[in-house]
Chain A
């Protein structure tokens, strides 16, 4: 079968469209797996020891709140713990991401903190200018408000809303891209019914292009590291954001590399089938054809 310009153009166009579908599939998959899951957030939090550092910062700030009120850091002994803060933080994060309401039970903290403050006031013989219980209640409420503020991750509800949009779109985009990809593969196949090496050649173009399109953004990010220049404080929040972005980038890089491997397989298959085709044709016709003819066949292939 001779190459026809119309067939070549159709195949190239189909291959180009396939490359777009493959790229969209790969990028959507990268975003869904690398960024838009609760697990991607919580694993980044764990990796940078976010809650341990948050706890230290929280205790530091709490002490700064109560010291001007005449109290000492020891009023927090046995009240808060890293484990409880982590549990409250994760539950609160999940609620924000899923747009549900999580009510942290603060009763135990309040009770324990109030007891400690009263003991401290008695021990140090501090004098209250007004109702002592009311003053202590105000201090405790202040600390509790601060606790809620500290366990919430900034913009978590906005991030959650983006996650939900991506997750809602993902199945539709995924399956439509898959269907479109199948159609383009079918077109390429239909145009080359006897020359499967050509089919794999066009598939190789598409998958290589998909791999390039998917690999360029993460390589650019890892090379420039522009995301490390964001001015976010405190340090543990900055570390969490950078780690979260880097983890997502690595997933994208991995998917791009898998696609690249697929394209190598396609190239290998195309080359193998072409050589097989030439060998078969040469074998069948070697009594009737010259070496020049085999060269022509090669060009046809």
Chain B
């Protein structure tokens, strides 16, 4: 019985040797490799961590549309249109959140929050330092003069421009137009005390090559839903 046990133990040991011996060799090999190349390994690890984050990059969150026509309930309180502040969706960079229209000059374009090259190819861009309609602040829109804002060359004082959002339509009356240098800091005032819409594009229209001047259009709020808590 004891001999059988011994023979079994020896057999088991021989079989197990096929596992632990290679593992031991591998551990030694890795240990020696690490000792010999620890500097290079550290550099490689640091390099990878330098260009890595906690998760894979997200390529899907570009240019979402948060504009859903008539999706927010608008109430009529004694002739004053109101929307609940909590229902007003705030756009993230690249979101399509409104449409700007002026029927008389055939202006009808999507408004994106942000104003990079990719956005300006798809529609009207909004300076992300400016506000969405309805907040009583400055709204700055821009677009290329040979695309969505080509129509601005026909705009006149007194025209009505509408911005349609998910939480209602805001109307603005054109008060003034100006031609200014692109670096002119007096073009608009972020600290303005009322809601003002500023639209601008390159000037002159129908010009070859980049131009240093801009055509500015200023409009004041006429009507639109008011926020209530």
Task: Give the B-binding residues of A (Cβ under 8 A).
Answer: 12, 15-16, 19-20, 23, 60-61, 63-64, 67-72, 121, 124-130, 132, 135-136, 138-139, 201, 204-206, 208-209, 211-213, 216, 226-235, 238, 263, 267, 292, 295, 298-299
**In the complex, A176→B57 CA distance in Å?**
43
Contact residue among A125, A135, A212 (Cβ-Cβ distance under 8 Å from B23): A212
B51 contacts A by Cβ under 8 Å: yes
Q: Specify which chain A residues have a CB less than 8 angstroms from the CB of B121 in the assembled complex.
A: 60, 63-64, 67
Q: What's the minimum C-beta distance from B26 to chain A, rounded to whole angstroms?
A: 4
Q: Establish whether residues A295 and B7, one from each chain, have CB atoms under 8 Å apart when the complex forms.
A: yes
Q: Specify which chain A residues have a CB less than 8 angstroms from the CB of B18 in the assembled complex.
A: 204-205, 208, 267
Q: Establish whether residues A299 and B10, one from each chain, have CB atoms under 8 Å apart when the complex forms.
A: yes
Q: Specify which chain A residues have a CB less than 8 angstroms from the CB of B26 in the assembled complex.
A: 19, 23, 209, 212-213, 216
When A19-B22, A67-B146, A213-B29 are in contact, do A129 and B55 touch as well, CB less than 8 Å?
Answer: no
Contact residue among B3, B117, B209 (Cβ-Cβ distance under 8 Å from A129): B209
Q: Specify which chain B residues have a CB less than 8 angstroms from the CB of A138 in the assembled complex.
A: 209
B139 contacts A by Cβ under 8 Å: no
B1 contacts A by Cβ under 8 Å: no
Within 8 A of A (CB), among B41-95: 48, 51-57, 59
A-B CB contact pairs (8 Å), 18 listed = A15-B21, A16-B25, A23-B29, A64-B118, A68-B144, A69-B210, A70-B206, A71-B208, A127-B206, A129-B207, A132-B208, A135-B208, A201-B17, A206-B22, A208-B22, A209-B29, A238-B57, A238-B59
Q: Specify which chain A residues have a CB less than 8 angstroms from the CB of B56 in the assembled complex.
A: 228-229
B30 contacts A by Cβ under 8 Å: yes
When A67-B144, A206-B25, A209-B25 are in contact, do A229 and B118 touch as well, CB less than 8 Å?
Answer: no
Q: Establish whether residues A128 and B25, one from each chain, have CB atoms under 8 Å apart when the complex forms.
A: no
Q: Specify which chain A residues have a CB less than 8 angstroms from the CB of B120 in the assembled complex.
A: 64, 67
Task: Give the A-binding residues of B (Cβ under 8 A).
Answer: 3, 7, 10, 17-18, 21-23, 25-26, 28-30, 32, 48, 51-57, 59, 117-118, 120-121, 144-147, 202, 204, 206-211
When A20-B32, A213-B30, A292-B3 are in contact, do A229 and B208 touch as well, CB less than 8 Å?
Answer: no
Q: Establish whether residues A209 and B3, one from each chain, have CB atoms under 8 Å apart when the complex forms.
A: no
Q: What's the minimum C-beta distance from B191 to chain A, rounded to whole angstroms?
A: 29
Q: Specify which chain B residues have a CB less than 8 angstroms from the CB of A298 in the assembled complex.
A: 7, 10
Q: Establish whether residues B210 and A68, one from each chain, have CB atoms under 8 Å apart when the complex forms.
A: yes
Q: Specify which chain B residues have a CB less than 8 angstroms from the CB of A267 in the assembled complex.
A: 18
**In the complex, A267→B19 CA distance in Å?**
11
Q: Establish whether residues B206 and A129, one from each chain, have CB atoms under 8 Å apart when the complex forms.
A: no
Q: Establish whether residues B25 and A231, one from each chain, have CB atoms under 8 Å apart when the complex forms.
A: no
Q: Specify which chain B residues have a CB less than 8 angstroms from the CB of A135 in the assembled complex.
A: 208-209
Shortest beta-carbon contacts, A-B, top 10: A209-B25, A208-B22, A209-B22, A64-B117, A19-B25, A126-B208, A235-B59, A212-B26, A229-B52, A128-B208
- CB-CB nearest in chain B for A12: B21
Q: What's the minimum C-beta distance from A112 to chain B, rounded to whole angstroms?
A: 18
Q: What's the minimum C-beta distance from B51 to chain A, rounded to whole angstroms?
A: 5
Q: Specify which chain B residues have a CB less than 8 angstroms from the CB of A129 in the assembled complex.
A: 207-209, 211
